Amino acid sequence: MNNNDLIKDLKIGFMGTPSFAVPILERLIADNYHIDYVYTQSGRPAGRGMKSRNSIIYDVAKKNNIEIRAPKKLDDEEFSFLKEREVDIIIVAAYGLILPERILTIPKFGCLNVHASLLPKWRGAAPIQRSIMAGDNETGISYMIMEKGLDTGPVIFQKEIKIGKRDNFLKVHDSLSSLASETISKTVNEYIEGKLFIEKQNNAEATYADKIEKHETKINWSLSASEIRNLIYSVSPKPGAWTITKEGKRLKILSASIQETEGGDGVLLKNQFVGCGLRSLKIIEVQPEGKKIMPFDDYLRGKNFLINERIFD
């Protein structure tokens, strides 16, 4: 329960869209903060019928009787709404729309962004994927006071986690979301009370996490086993790193481990190893087109692939 006299009357606006934001909003609700409204991206077509589905945050807000706004853009109408509501702080967690500068200055304590990296490293849209893809050993969350630039604002709190060798995107995503949930209330309290040091980012140390493009998820077997392994885990289980088999079909590779054995690019070696530009990979789990995830050895049993044959393009 949240009984702090300073913040018991705090009015909070919340902006978020995907599952990453859910534990954060739910923690604020559980801790009895007054969430005045929730902004989320408008529903997008999904499923076989391509019917518009609300975001997961929309459903959480509705369940808790919180006013919901789902505009396609933050225009004059939304600016007027936000100004009229006069919240003390807006908390932003993977909202997906850029906040215009004039909105950033509306709340008394500004807009606080929960970002899934240790800023200034991995500013931008895909910080978790890019961190794993780069082979980082650790990542974390940063609470940043938003300003005009892309994730350039001063940081008030950070907390790191290790990235294990078998930690894929989903595992790291869920760990960071949980970490944000555990720290959100204390961070907001201490920020409002003026107890946190506000530190400007060093722009010279910044790296950028551009959105993952479809073509990037195709495996290039001429790369090193380490680079391919990092790609596999950075986009597993979705959208998944993929290759084209000698049969001309797409195959997602969801997990693999690096081996010292050398072999030709995309060539099947002994012990379920596949050759790469440098060293090889032991493929563990795959997902053929239109089928469920399965062990690689089960996949191979249904094939006539030969050892020392190039099976992946």
pLDDT digits 0-9 by tens, 145-173: 999 999 999 999 999 999 999 999 999 99
pLDDT at 50: 59
pLDDT at 1: 41
Q: 92 by DSSP, 3-state: which?
A: strand
Closest by CA to 221, choosing from 301, 157, 311, 152, is: 311
Mean pLDDT of the chain: 95
The ranges assigned to domains in the chain are 11-205, 214-301
What does the pLDDT average to over 115-123?
Answer: 98
Report helix angle 169-192 to 22-30, nearest 10.
40
User: How many C-beta atoms surround the C-beta of residue 92 within 10 A?
Assistant: 23
The CATH number of the domain covering residues in 214-301: 3.10.25.10
Closest by CA to 279, choosing from 218, 219, 226, 220, is: 226
What does the pLDDT average to over 79-93?
Answer: 97
Which amino acid type is present at position 245?
T
Q: Per-residue confidence at 261, pLDDT binned at 50, 70, 90? A: very high
Diameter of the chain measured on Cα atoms: 71
Domains 11-205 and 214-301 share a fold: no
Integer-rounded Cα radius of gyration of the chain: 22
User: Can you give the length of the chain in residues?
Assistant: 313
d(CA 20, CA 16): 8
Q: 295 by DSSP, 3-state: which?
A: strand
pLDDT at 311: 97
pLDDT at 302: 83
202: which 2 tokens? Answer: 């060093």
Pick the CATH number of 11-205 from 3.20.20.70, 3.40.50.10860, 3.40.50.1110, 3.40.50.170: 3.40.50.170
Provide, rounded to the nearest whole percent, the portion of the chain with pLDDT above 70.
95
What does the pLDDT average to over 166-194?
Answer: 97
Asked if 251 contacts 289 with a C-beta cutoff of 8 angstroms, the reply is yes
pLDDT digits 0-9 by tens, 14-32: 999 999 999 999 999 999 9
pLDDT digits 0-9 by tens, 269-310: 999 999 999 999 999 999 999 999 999 999 999 899 999 999
pLDDT digits 0-9 by tens, 198-221: 999 999 999 999 999 999 999 999
What does the pLDDT average to over 164-192?
Answer: 97
User: How many C-beta atoms surround the C-beta of residue 182 within 10 A?
Assistant: 15
pLDDT at 174: 98
